[in-house]
Amino acid sequence: MSAVDQLFQELKKQGQKAFMPFITAGDPNLAFTSTLLKTLLRHGSHICEVGIPYSDPIADGPVIQASYTRALAHGITLSDIFEMLRQTTPELAAPVVTMVSHAIIYRAGLKQYVKTAKQSGVAGLIVPDLPVEESKPLQQICQAENLSLIQLITPNTPRDRALRIAASSTGFIYYVSVVGITGERKQVPQSIKDNVGWLREQTDLPICIGFGISNPEHIRTLAPMADGLIVGSAIVRRIAALDEQSEAEVLQDVEDYVKTLMVAISGC
């Protein structure tokens, strides 16, 4: 089993749901990203999703797009990110997965990207722009290296296609709660319950819900139907305040915010 498989197996035994924060690597710099990872996981996060900055975001809203732009403007490179992760992950008591465009993996070379990711302590890859029809080569490489290949299913995904995506995924399924891009929303769609309920009947993989989750009420609504909840834009928006606040103040703000979500998820 991969580290992601082991995590969800343990959480299931304990009757717990996974809380998964998303942060952008290198926003505003990699030293801060390393500190933030340690802070998030020290305060109860079960797994952390690290976004690899990309000039043409796939489904990212303005908050995450802006974080990618800031990181790229500082000259961040893929090798720099992997080096930061290589130094940081041994200090973390939870898995780290990367959210990465298939274009970046392809340019690096599928085998090379997966090999370097594993050497850097990465436990899985979330690849939002990987068509299921083209996923087999990367799937086989990840399987050989015991890394999870996590793929996305959306409300608009036809059910026959959703079945193929689920069959080619490992670790967990990333269920996109809304049609559109990432970003904080006031409400979550009522259709999620039916869609996730159907999907759960088709696969044994854990199902984690992301996009638009930003407050404890969202957590309480979605946790009963999910194995994990993913929160991104609400955290990344707080990091953007580094223009006006010190690192210590921003870290405290993120910590306080995450604690409110952890209280909500622990009560579900």
Among 230, 207, 255, 235, which Cα is nearest to 19's? 230
C-alpha 155/C-alpha 212 separation (Å) is: 14
60 is catalytic: yes
Query: Which residue in the list 5, 49, 134, 145 is annotated as catalytic?
Result: 49
Cα 225 from Cα 74, distance rounded (Å):
40
- Tokens 């500190």 found at: 35
Phi/psi region, residue 109 (left: phi>0; alpha: psi -120 to 50; beta: rest), is left
CB 51 within 8 A of CB 71: no
**10, 27, 56, 60: the active-site residue:** 60
Q: Tell me the two tokens of residue 175.
A: 């269920």
Euclidean distance between CA atoms 225 and 209, whole angstroms = 9
* CA 132/CA 136 separation, integer angstroms: 8
DSSP per residue, 109-133:
-HHHHHHHHHHTT--EEE-TT--GG
The b/e string for 220-255 (b: 16+ C-beta within 10 A; e otherwise) is: ebbbebbbbbbbbbbbbbbbbebeeeeeeebbeebe
Residue whose entry in the numeric block shows the structure tokens 């465009």? 101
Please give the positions annotated as active site.
49, 60
